[in-house]
Structure 1
Amino acid sequence: MNTDLDTPILDNHLHLDPVNGDGADHAEDFANAGGTHLLVLNKPSWYLVDDVEDTDAFRETFEITCEVTAEASERLPGRAWPVLGVHPGLISRLVEDGYTPDEAREFMQSGLDIAAEFVADGPALAIKSGRPHYDVSEAVWDASNDVMKHAFELGAEVGCAVQLHTEGGEDFREIAEWAEDRGLPREQVVKHYSGGYVDGPIPSIISNKDALEAGAEHGDSFLMETDFLDDPERPGAVLGPKTVPKRVRWLLENGYEEAVHRAHVETPARVYGIDTEATLSE
């Protein structure tokens, strides 16, 4: 392991796919570059299991993700945690297959119920939800927002953060208010794939230099991510597993020590209740 960075380094959102990709082997690439901690998101269920027609598909998807995350954790100087949920794009697939938007909503909410069980029972750290980042009908949009609100209710119930896959932009105050109305503090709502500062949730910034510089300069809480897909047909997409450690090095070289501490120690503790410094010695 490359230890000269002298800080915990967390990738807040990446995928490890033991079915189609190289799975936990990528954790070694991350660690060799200096990385210490990972949050591993399940891929959409249709990538990992054959049948997505009943809720068993969600449970199987989550079990696969928990297993590969445990394997990854053994290869890190810190540890890895699973983040489980239902990709918001599933609603479009369901509607195309003949579901009404309300039927799709109920099905997806049942998947989130199962994800919350994995959090309550221990192996998972947080829940993933959101809404489509592309144009959809008003009925699908409304149903998707209801799915997301259900995730907030579950997060409040089991005491965990919710990562969101949504459209781009900066103004997500309404979403943060929805979470607070359901008992989930806005600081436990994370906007995955942020391009810098966002208003409302905590931004998880995609680790390109311009976006990170914008987040670091703003002075608020943020996280760093690659959204690595572990897809052999798209190697390195979205960003490779070595990227966050490399970008941490770049931030430190450019005088952003305080921002690095925020992103990899303070914000993970604030959002998820994890101690990235103490878990380095486990």
Structure 2
Amino acid sequence: MSEDLGTPVLDDHMHLDPEHGRGLDAVRDFARLGGTHLIVVNKPSWHLGVEADAPADFRPVFETTVDVVEDATDLLDGRAWAVLGVHPGLVSRLVDERGYGPEEARDLMQGGLDVAAEYVRDGRALGLKSGRPHYDVTDAVWTASNEVMRHAFSLGADRDCPVQLHTEGSEDLTEIAEWAEDTGLARERVVKHYAGGTLAGPTPSVMSEKDRLRVAAEAGDPFLMETDFVDDPDRPGAVMGPKTVPRRVRWLQEEGYDDAVRTAHVETPALAYDVDTVATLE
């Protein structure tokens, strides 16, 4: 029997690998502890055995994700949504290991985002994933990565969908938010995955550590909660386990942060993703 926390409970960034990882068992754990909604982000393409040479090569990665999202929805009192895209770390794999030039890598990654945007258009995905490396790279790779991210923003504006980002750690990404606005995508619709408790610019998706969550709760600004569960059998429980967000919601309630729980699981999902986590509960 599932625990009832009296609120929708959304994990904003989880990976599910039904073939190699825990897959739907992770969803069952999440639901049993009171989790109701999931944003499922496709794993990096090479983690699923795909070494892309053309944009269409990303399609099996996306198909795997949208299929597991449909199955996950059947297990939840709410539902799951897919966010699809090209992991920004692919640029290094292409340039450093496979002999691509930075511009060639950029073009392939932008083409992969074009394919992901087709799933948004068809209603099979909620948004796009992009970003830039969180580690040191050459100036040429940095420029190419920023051009990939800007392309994602243009697609987000065109499809009227959110863009979730993997970037370097920072408390101020105002410039990135301004790039999104330049394309016509509202900064609230840009979500910074793996965020700390405060962030200027995009909407922060806060890693569900108590210290980070307390900062976010007391700041009173829009935020989401996530685990970045990677569903890798060689790294069980990494980065955080699927039970974490429901447990942290219970902790926030016990600490008196009921307003913050509503912010993270009702108000900010509506703001960033245009989804209604209350109406989608059974």
TM range (shorter): over 0.9
| Contact 1:197 1:214 survives alignment (8 Å) | yes
Relative to the length of structure 2, the TM-score reads 0.98
How far did residue 48 of structure 1 move? 1.2
Residue identity matched to 1:41:
V
How far did residue 23 of structure 1 move? 1.2
**1:53 corresponds to 2:53:** yes
Match of 1:163 in 2: 164
Match of 1:265 in 2: 266
**1:190 corresponds to 2:188:** no
| Contact 1:8 1:276 survives alignment (8 Å) | yes
Percent of aligned pairs sharing the same letter: 64
Total equivalences in the alignment: 281
Question: SS of the residue aligned with 1:114?
Answer: helix
| Contact 1:165 1:191 survives alignment (8 Å) | yes
Question: SS of the residue aligned with 2:147?
Answer: helix
CA distance in 2, matches of 1:57, 1:215: 39
CA distance in 2, matches of 1:112, 1:4: 38
Match of 1:75 in 2: 75
| Contact 2:232 2:238 survives alignment (8 Å) | yes
Question: SS of the residue aligned with 1:280?
Answer: coil
Relative to the length of structure 1, the TM-score reads 0.98
* Structure 1 residues 145-200: Cα deviation after superposition (integer angstroms, max 9, x where no partner): 00000000000000100000000010100000000000000000000000111000
| Contact 2:53 2:108 survives alignment (8 Å) | no
Question: SS of the residue aligned with 2:176?
Answer: helix
How far did residue 77 of structure 1 move? 0.6
CA distance in 2, matches of 1:229, 1:173: 28
* Structure 1 residues 93-151: Cα deviation after superposition (integer angstroms, max 9, x where no partner): 11021111001000000000011110010010010000000000000000000000000
Deviates more, 1:144-153 or 1:19-28: 19-28
* Structure 1 residues 76-101: Cα deviation after superposition (integer angstroms, max 9, x where no partner): 11000000000000000110211110
CA distance in 2, matches of 1:247, 1:34: 11
Question: SS of the residue aligned with 1:279?
Answer: coil
**1:95 corresponds to 2:95:** yes
CA distance in 2, matches of 1:147, 1:40: 21
After TM superposition, list the pairs within 5 Å mapping 1:22-41 onto structure 2. Answer: 22-41=22-41
| Contact 1:12 1:223 survives alignment (8 Å) | yes
Residue identity matched to 1:120:
R
**1:17 corresponds to 2:17:** yes
How far did residue 52 of structure 1 move? 1.9
CA distance in 1, matches of 2:199, 2:57: 33
CA distance in 2, matches of 1:125, 1:25: 23
Question: SS of the residue aligned with 2:61?
Answer: helix
Question: SS of the residue aligned with 2:272?
Answer: helix
| Contact 2:220 2:260 survives alignment (8 Å) | yes
| Contact 1:205 1:211 survives alignment (8 Å) | yes
After TM superposition, list the pairs within 5 Å mapping 1:1-282 onto structure 2. Answer: 1-96=1-96, 97-281=98-282
How far did residue 55 of structure 1 move? 2.1
Aligned residues: CA RMSD: 0.8
| Contact 2:29 2:242 survives alignment (8 Å) | yes
| Contact 1:37 1:79 survives alignment (8 Å) | yes
Residue identity matched to 2:197:
G
Question: SS of the residue aligned with 1:235?
Answer: coil
Question: SS of the residue aligned with 2:280?
Answer: helix
How far did residue 22 of structure 1 move? 1.8
* Structure 1 residues 203-241: Cα deviation after superposition (integer angstroms, max 9, x where no partner): 000000000001111010000000000011110000000
Question: SS of the residue aligned with 1:238?
Answer: coil
Unaligned residue ranges in structure 2 (runs of 5+): none
| Contact 1:19 1:48 survives alignment (8 Å) | no
Question: SS of the residue aligned with 2:281?
Answer: helix
Residue identity matched to 1:176:
A
Unaligned residue ranges in structure 1 (runs of 5+): none
Residue identity matched to 2:195:
S
CA distance in 2, matches of 1:39, 1:68: 12
CA change 1:187–1:50 in 2 (3 A) is: closer
